[in-house]
Structure 1
Amino acid sequence: MKLSSNVEVSVEISHEGGVALLVDLARKGNDQQKTSAVGALANLAFNDSIGAEIARCKGVGALVVLMRTGTEQQKDFAVDALQNLAVSDEIGAEIAREGGIEPLIKLIRLGTDQQKEGAVGALANLSINDAVRSEILSKGGVAALLELLRMGTDELNEKIAGALGNFANSDEGRTEIAREGGIAPLVALLRAGSEQQKGYATDTIRNLAKSNDKIRAELVREGTVPLLKNLSRSGSERQKESAARALQQLNGGCCILM
């Protein structure tokens, strides 16, 4: 596992046919072999070209199986690998086809802290793909993310806020976030979160403000306007831009901003 985290060694492993061997061990090896193999695959999956090779070697299905039924350590490694692989739209779609969405959502609800972090990162990456995002929504992914947002760590909440921004790119996602009570915890991050959390929360609120009058009215009731105005004046450059756009979206709806 340590060797595969070195870039040059990772490429050499790939050139020497090691990826196919690791996938085979992840499928058919004993528990110790599976653990070592999936740990190596998690490290190798950081490399885009090797990630594509893992997919070609049918590694996605093997990783999903271990995420669902493996030991705790195997689940740790498998979800990390899938998080890395999910940055590719094509591989993200394959993760969904192999049944990876439901076990990721289950880990967000019931996994260890490490598993939750990996699963949130995987859903954040997967939610960039429109079709996969719809499947995550249909399986309760937003509800699971919001449950965790209310009790997660600072690092987890940062990732969750970023993921929710992706879901808020669609009408379906915006509606689901509002339905599941997501506006209040996002406003709480906007009010008292870290700088990174505020940035992601602002982006998500900006996207939510593109929605219907009902959602815009709820955003205003929850106190977003003074918070956004403050960020538009004194936040980072990114926060200023996103907050200004959110205010424009809110002002274009049913609510007059004072």
Structure 2
Amino acid sequence: MESESTHPDGEETPRTISAVDQTLLLIHSDDPSSQIHAAQEIRRLTKTSHRFRRHFSSAVPPLVLMLRSSSPSATEAALLALLNLAVKDETNKVCIVNAGALEPIISFLQPGSSNLQDHATASLLTLSASSVNKPIIGASGAIPLLVEILRHGSPQSKADAVLALYNLSTYSDNLSLILEAEPIPPLVDLLKTCKKSSKTAEKCTALMESLVGFDEGRTALTSEEGGVLAVVEVLESGSLQSREHAVGTLLTMCQTDRCKYREPILKEGVIPGLLELTVQGTPKSQSKAQTLLRLLRNSPYPRSELEPDTLENIVCNLISQIEDKDQSGKAKQMLSEMVQVSMEQSLRHLQQRALVCTPGDLPIASCASEVSSK
């Protein structure tokens, strides 16, 4: 007799497959209560299983039809089932959009949709991860509603909206649509309140970095009270990836119009954070931080041979321009620490080099012996 439990290798037993078939029959039936029960079962089974997401792909059309039901229970059950079907499944993501799910999902984004707004935002976040869906969602009218959720949504829906907008922004034609919805003020508000090392802060700054590539984005950020400061705070205490996007945002602004944006960036006390990035950031962050430091001093061009264009000289020049004593003192301390870290790194590098043997240093037999003993 065959076992009715799951086999050790993860394959479904006859009982499990029978349950799948039964659920599919119910979701395709004309009985509303049976459909709701089936949608709830699909949601449960697809929560953690990619295999079940494949099995239930044929349930997408009836679930999309349920989204248009007048029954709140039916729409919620269908929306949650579709959300789980789309997670980590590119084929289902595309099928859900092609089946016409966007129109009802977008209607749930409207104010007053209560808990459906949160579920709809999460659904759009998942669907927008598909490169095929990005232009379709951008053209659907969802972007202004996602930005509105940034302003007035629940904490979770705001976080999901940022990630959805970031996903959509990676399709270049969507960037102008995002800018038209004026997202900078709510993005700044979110940056001020969220944990600086969070995924939300990371996607906020990533989206900001793309938006300041446009004049409207740069103007909006500097016009927003505390806008540049919010980016500087992420640069100082965000995750490595967030800090990379934050310094990229400021660098883009300064490279575009140094005369216009140099002072707004300097006055927010950016120097200590930039100094730390030059030695502790990602390789991209280090390079961007050094470039930005050069652009922030009085003259971005190399000076005479009497004052070499070293990072230390650049920073000393910048510190002399800072009128705020607290900022100046902090910058000097950071410079001292940066030099110390740099010296320690250089010493370790020299020690490592001294331990490395090359054919020119020792006989071949000795070299082989050193390598094999590692």
Residue of structure 2 equivalent to 1:7: 50
Q: Is the 8 A contact 1:187 1:201 kept in 2?
A: yes
Q: Partner letter of residue 238 of structure 2?
A: G
CA contact (8 A) 2:149 2:161 kept: yes
Structure with bigger gyration radius: 2
Match of 1:161 among 205, 209, 222: 205
Task: Report the secondary structure of 1:209's partner residue.
Answer: helix
Instruction: Give CA deviations for 1:147-166 in whole Å, capped at 9, x if unaligned.
Output: 22222344333332222123
Using the alignment, how far apart are the partners of 1:67 and 1:251 within structure 2? 43
Q: 1:107 to 1:23 in 2, by over 3 A?
A: same
Amino acid at match of 1:19: V
Pairwise CA distance, 1:212: 0.8
Q: Matches of residues 53-68 of structure 1 in structure 2 within 5 Å?
A: 53-68=95-110
TM-score using structure 2 length:
0.61
> What are the residue-to-residue correspondences of 1:35-50 with 2, within 5 Å?
35-46=76-87, 47-50=89-92
Q: Could you tell me which residue of structure 1 aligns to residue 236 of structure 2?
A: 191
Partner of 1:100: 142
- Residue deviations 1:57-115, cap 9 Å, x none? 11122211122267432222211110122233442232232221222112111111111
Contact kept, 8 Å, 1:216 with 1:254, in 2: the verdict is: no
Q: CA deviation at 1:238?
A: 4.5
Residue 268 of structure 2 aligns to which amino acid in structure 1? E
Q: What does residue 66 of structure 2 align with?
A: 25
TM-score (norm 1): 0.86
- 1:169 positional shift: 3.6
1:186 is displaced (CA, Å) by 0.5
- The 2-side partners of 1:201 and 1:125 are apart by 18
Structure 1 residue ranges (4+ consecutive) displaced by more than 6 angstroms after TM superposition: none
SS in 1 for 2:46: helix
Question: Which of the numbers 214, 218, 228 marks the counterpart of 1:174?
Answer: 218
Q: Percent identity?
A: 26
Residue 218 of structure 1: aligned partner: 264
CA distance in 2, matches of 1:237, 1:218: 26
Residue of structure 1 equivalent to 2:254: 209
More relative contact order in 1 or in 2 (CA 8 Å, sep 6+)?
A: 1
Q: CA deviation at 1:29?
A: 5.3
| Structure 1 residues 13 and 178: CA distance shift in structure 2, 3 A | same
Which amino acid in structure 1 is aligned with residue 101 of structure 2? G
Kept in 1: contact 2:247–2:289 (CA 8 A): yes
Residue matched to 2:339: none
5+ residue gaps, structure 2 = 1-42, 302-313, 318-374
Tell me, yes or no, if the aligned pair for 2:275 and 2:289 is still in contact at 8 Å.
yes
How far apart in 1 are the matches of 2:75 and 2:299?
56
* Alignment equivalent of 1:83, drawn from 125, 129, 135: 125
More helix by share: 1
Q: Classify the secondary structure of the residue corresponding to 1:150.
A: helix
Cα distance in 2 between the residues matched to 1:229 and 1:235? 10
Report the CA distance shift for 1:2/1:245 in structure 2 as closer, same or farther (over 3 A).
Answer: farther
Distance 1:241 1:112 in 2: 38
